Structure 1
Amino acid sequence: MKLYKEKLLSELQLKRLGEHQYSCSSCSYLDKFLQPYWNWLVSKVPLWLAPNLITIVGLILNIVTALILVWYSPNAKDGAPRWACALCGIGLFAYQSLDAIDGKQARRTGTANPLGELFDHGCDSISTVFVALSACIAVQLGNHPGWMFFQCFCAITLFYCAHWQTYVSGTLRFGRVDVTEAQVTIMLILAISAIFGPDIWSTKIPGTVMEMKTFLMITACGIAAFVAQANISVIFTGGIGKNGSSVAGTSVLSPIIPFSMILVPAFIIYQKSTEHVYENHPALYILAFGLVAAKVTNRLVVAHMTKSEMDYTDLSLIGPTMLFLNQYFSTFITEYYVLWLCLVWVTLDLLRYCYQICTEICDYLHVELFRIPHTGNTNTKRISSTSTSGNTEKNGTNIRNNKPPRSKKK
């Protein structure tokens, strides 16, 4: 028996994906402020450069610079070099800029299609993990492991909830303070760490006994609660399917099951570890479970775009299961080694899934992932009307398959 499906998407799912119309509403403060810069930047991009290639280059820069920070402070306790913090901030800025112009490039070149939306959100789901982790390392949050666990998984959960409410309501909603604002805040944190050193966050706020990092955590929790409340209210009241169900006609609560199969084991393994595997290796731990969450989030996006029920099981869960079973049998193998094995497994599974899903969609739509076909190529004729609808702008919201300038939420 094969370990994975030969075909991830059925013909019906592909047909629905081809007919998918992207819907989004945004009122972000900084998106409007940054639009002139993004418009200028895309005007400098050559027309032969594919939108998805722009996105993946930004993601690679984001990951590489974040991993440099992880290399110097894998426990998030040691002060990383100032230049590493600066480099990570530059990498995040590059990712934000390139991710903001991929939709504009798609409209310039007339290559908007449903794959662009999926590819964009897939990259965002991975970036979320590295951005949250880099922020924690920059403020040395490893000295407060419980807070670091909460902050990282809170960011991952909020990103999942954004697409959960999209699966329910059919529309991705961005608030006035959302992903762009969060990214700019993290850039500022990285810049401060680069200028003054990470130890600056352990200093007391003048006139109080509160450390600067504590103030950051409290503020982040307040904003997270506000964003979560907005998503939850949509989930419970915004179902557009029959009898208030999701776009696929399923229960609005069904997406909580696959995500809880990540979050609950992550917390239990952290609490029950006799070798304190999370406290000693927080970056490795968060990367392993974060990439599992990225895989499940990608499947939720696919379920939304194809109006399909979301499967509860996933091969990437084998990674956390290895850690759980190892603990159950009294850590027969050193947990550090099992954690590395888990990370390798979930990384390979995520890459395999992304490659397979993109290949199937490219074959169906007759498009190429990282290359713009020559003008007059008849192979693009199968792209649905969503390709041309990306040439419109409504209420200040740019669209790539009706995609906003910042089609993500972290």
Structure 2
Amino acid sequence: MAYIPSHALAGLRNYKYKGVDKSLISNYVLNPFWNWFVTLWPEWVAPNMITLSGLAFVLINFATLSFYDPTYLTARGGATSPPNWVYFTWAAGLFLYQTFDAIDGKQARRTGMAGPLGEMFDHGCDALNTTLGVILACYALNLGRSWWTFASQVATLANFYLTTWEEYHTGQLYLGIFSGPVEGILMIVIIFIITGFTGPALWDQKILSLTRLENVEWIASRVPNLAINVCFMLFAGVGLAFNIITSYTNVFKARRTSQKYVVKPLLYLLPFPASVLVQVAWLNQPSLRNSDIINSPAFVPFLCAWGLQFAHVVGRMIIAHVTSQPFPVWDPMYIWSIIGAIDANMPFLFDRPPLIQHSPERTERFVYVVLVVAFVTYARFVMLVVSDITDYLGIACLTVRKRDANGVWKSAVGMRMRPTEKRGLLD
């Protein structure tokens, strides 16, 4: 399929990134550090290479989980936690990911390589990090294979979908006082650090018992004594509700200013909850109680397959935004999940056993098939889109090069903006 039709390529030259960041931590603490850190990079380093290097830190984090606790990914039953020092490496890796993700745009402006390709590349890596980050964070919180981990995936992907949906309808990326890319990541970094000192078992303790507030009758009689990790999940739910209200408020204002329908954008939110319902239906297998996906080694591959499907969805949303195309409502990647959901619920729908997933082993194999298909499809999407954008704009993806008027490749550093255009590059 053509992700960018020929008639939409012209929109790439008209695209200009717009962003608003109201985070106090970002503006007064991290941004000065980022402005200094980007100056350490030579101008011949491509911004997309910085983005890709940042994602590599998260992949290394995931690889250490696979190395120290392979049973979590490959076997049934309980898992053994990795050494506590590993969580410190996860904290460092995630913080470096955040730092690299923050400076790639600054490097793009330094080298004159800012444009739609950078936004697509940046958001694509963010989408992949979202799922891997959920798996690692929930593992550190000792949630393991559970519906809480699934709920965390839902909340995290929903926030990402909301941000992309909002950017499509407002024309700018909006980060509020508390946002996932800044405060959310820092919160997970702190969780990793605490887990490194105490181990994951800390998060199973009851919050009122740990704080000894259960001895205060007024509090104990009104506040449920929930586990700390459950409290984090509830906090994520409150944050999601707040982001829904904030995102729609921004879209409402933008649409009303441009005298467009203010209700129609809400319809474009429906594909995400519909996809969540499909995943829930697939996880909830009537014929395999206590042996279904959520209790098997297929759970992490299931989350990864869903994450790749989601990355494909938001990738198409970003392409639609930068090329001024219609909002993509349907994505064919979800066909495989729909097949899995219908097949898993054959006993409920048609009073007959599943055709594919009639045993735990067959279910696991099918999940891995969906994971492979999702990976190949998303990889193809990235290659085709990168090829279309670089060919049309005459730029390279992972090197600082541009084609001049004669079609000759030259360093973009020597072709970048005039000095008067460099003011405020790091802002």
**Which bin holds the TM-score, normalised by the shorter protein?**
0.7 to 0.9
Deviations 1:115-169 (A, max 9, x none): 11111111111111111221111111136x2222111111001101111111112
The answer to whether structure 1 residue 30 and structure 2 residue 32 are counterparts is no
Contact 1:322 1:338 (C-alpha < 8 Å) held by counterparts: no
The answer to whether structure 1 residue 277 and structure 2 residue 289 are counterparts is no
| CA–CA separation in structure 2 for the residues paired with 1:161 and 1:358 | 24
Larger radius of gyration: 2
Against the structure 1 CA distance between its residues 262 and 9, is the aligned structure 2 distance closer, same or farther, given a 3 Å change threshold?
same
Q: Which runs of 5+ in 2 are unaligned?
A: 215-224, 347-352, 357-361
| CA–CA separation in structure 2 for the residues paired with 1:79 and 1:211 | 21
The answer to whether structure 1 residue 344 and structure 2 residue 372 are counterparts is yes
Contact 1:129 1:152 (C-alpha < 8 Å) held by counterparts: yes
Against the structure 1 CA distance between its residues 279 and 240, is the aligned structure 2 distance closer, same or farther, given a 3 Å change threshold?
farther
Which position in structure 2 is the counterpart of 1:66? 62
1:211 to 214, 223, 227: 227
Which position in structure 1 is the counterpart of 2:165? 164
Map 1:362-373 to 2 at 5 A. Answer: 362-373=390-401
| CA–CA separation in structure 2 for the residues paired with 1:30 and 1:294 | 27
Query: AA paired with 1:318?
Result: I
| CA–CA separation in structure 2 for the residues paired with 1:133 and 1:391 | 41
| CA–CA separation in structure 2 for the residues paired with 1:160 and 1:67 | 26
Contact 1:77 1:140 (C-alpha < 8 Å) held by counterparts: no
Instruction: State the secondary structure of the residue aligned to 2:174.
Output: strand
Map 1:153-192 to 2 at 5 A. Answer: 153-178=154-179, 179-192=181-194
Cα offset for 1:341?
Answer: 0.7
Kindly indicate whether structure 1 or structure 2 has the higher relative contact order, using CA contacts under 8 Å at least 6 residues apart: 1
After superposing the two structures, state which structure 1 stretch, 323-332 or 303-312, moved more: 323-332
Which position in structure 2 is the counterpart of 1:267? 280
Cα offset for 1:256?
Answer: 2.5
Query: AA paired with 2:272?
Result: F
1:105 to 93, 96, 107: 107
Q: CA RMSD in A?
A: 2.8
Cα offset for 1:261?
Answer: 4.4
Cα offset for 1:328?
Answer: 4.6
The answer to whether structure 1 residue 331 and structure 2 residue 327 are counterparts is no
Query: AA paired with 1:305?
Result: V
**Structure-1-length-normalised TM-score:** 0.85
1:302 to 319, 328, 340: 319
Against the structure 1 CA distance between its residues 166 and 215, is the aligned structure 2 distance closer, same or farther, given a 3 Å change threshold?
same
| CA–CA separation in structure 1 for the residues paired with 2:60 and 2:303 | 16
Query: AA paired with 2:122?
Result: D
Against the structure 1 CA distance between its residues 195 and 77, is the aligned structure 2 distance closer, same or farther, given a 3 Å change threshold?
farther
Against the structure 1 CA distance between its residues 241 and 119, is the aligned structure 2 distance closer, same or farther, given a 3 Å change threshold?
farther
| CA–CA separation in structure 1 for the residues paired with 2:257 and 2:142 | 45
Deviations 1:186-245 (A, max 9, x none): 011111112211111112323244322123223222222222221133344432696424
Contact 2:134 2:149 (C-alpha < 8 Å) held by counterparts: no
Cα offset for 1:312?
Answer: 3.3
After superposing the two structures, state which structure 1 stretch, 215-224 or 364-373, moved more: 215-224
Query: AA paired with 2:125?
Result: C
Instruction: State the secondary structure of the residue aligned to 1:256.
Output: coil
Cα offset for 1:332?
Answer: 3.0
Query: AA paired with 2:232?
Result: L
Q: Which runs of 5+ in 1 are unaligned?
A: 399-410
Contact 2:140 2:200 (C-alpha < 8 Å) held by counterparts: yes
| CA–CA separation in structure 1 for the residues paired with 2:117 and 2:77 | 36
Identity, % of aligned pairs? 26
Contact 2:91 2:192 (C-alpha < 8 Å) held by counterparts: yes
**Structure-2-length-normalised TM-score:** 0.82
Query: AA paired with 2:229?
Result: K
Cα offset for 1:297?
Answer: 0.7
| CA–CA separation in structure 2 for the residues paired with 1:35 and 1:237 | 28
